[in-house]
A = this chain, B = another copy of it.
Amino acid sequence: MKKLKKTNPIRVMLVDDHPAYRKGMAALIESETDLTVVAETGDGRDALQVYRAKKPDVVLMDLRLPGLGGVEATLAIRKEFPDARVIVLTTFDTDEDIFRAIQSGAKSYLLKDTPDDELATAIRGVHAGKQILSEKLSRRLAERQQRPELTQREMDVLQMLIKGRSNREIGTALFLCEDTVKAHFKTLFAKLKVQDRTEAAISAIRHGIVHLD
């Protein structure tokens, strides 16, 4: 994959809150002759400013960040720079995470245990304007896309469910009568393809629809 003609290297920006990981990633990228790191930050809130200042060719973005999440940071960057090429690089891989990342405009989604050479290939591919998604993650994305969207109310109810609330309690909290809550659960069960509330809770957590933190 080495370029025969000497060209300007692809300028990469790293967004990850683990200093050690940034350091390792930087070393890894610099070890490729056609890649170089021009910017780093560990905080999602700084990502846009840093992008503005450095105008990198490709951004490697973690999802779980202090301050602003990776998805929000990506959205912010792409709002101002619609051509920004962002690769999400993370340890988490729920359907929702992948979906939201791609929705937010990320061109690729890689797991942190991706082999070095694949990462380099992905950076080059994304820089060239391609969409790079592994077999496995494409499948995940497809699965997520065929799942019906949840409405706001359904999300609210799900959120309360994760807090361990009963139908009555959920009703009180959301200013609804119990029957309404039950109605929402009915459609929720159908959409998530589950039989009861416990399965719904687990499914929601597993797919990343809700978070425990």
Give me the interface of A with B, judged by CB distance under 8 Å. 17-28, 91, 112-113, 115-116, 161-162, 164, 166, 194-199, 201-203, 205-206, 212
Chain B nearest Cβ from A129, distance in angstroms = 25
Tally of this chain's copies: 2
Given the complex, which residues of B lie within 8 Å of A166, measured CB to CB? Answer: 195-196
Chain B nearest Cβ from A64, distance in angstroms = 9
B27 near A23: Cβ-Cβ < 8 Å: yes
- A196 vs B169: C-alpha distance in the bound complex, in angstroms? 13
**What 20 new A-B contacts, CB under 8 Å, besides A24-B24, A166-B196?**
A18-B21, A18-B112, A19-B24, A19-B115, A20-B21, A20-B25, A20-B27, A20-B28, A20-B116, A21-B21, A24-B26, A24-B27, A162-B202, A164-B195, A164-B202, A197-B198, A198-B198, A198-B201, A201-B202, A206-B212
Chain B nearest Cβ from A133, distance in angstroms = 20
Given the complex, which residues of B lie within 8 Å of A116, measured CB to CB? Answer: 19-20
Please name 30 pairs of A and B residues whose Cβ atoms are closer than 8 Å in the assembled complex, sorted by A.
A17-B113, A18-B21, A18-B113, A19-B28, A19-B115, A19-B116, A20-B24, A20-B25, A20-B28, A20-B112, A20-B116, A21-B21, A21-B24, A23-B23, A23-B27, A23-B28, A24-B24, A24-B25, A24-B27, A91-B91, A162-B202, A164-B202, A166-B195, A166-B196, A198-B198, A201-B201, A201-B202, A202-B205, A202-B212, A205-B205
- A19 vs B166: C-alpha distance in the bound complex, in angstroms? 45
Given the complex, which residues of B lie within 8 Å of A206, measured CB to CB? Answer: 212
Chain B nearest Cβ from A67, distance in angstroms = 13
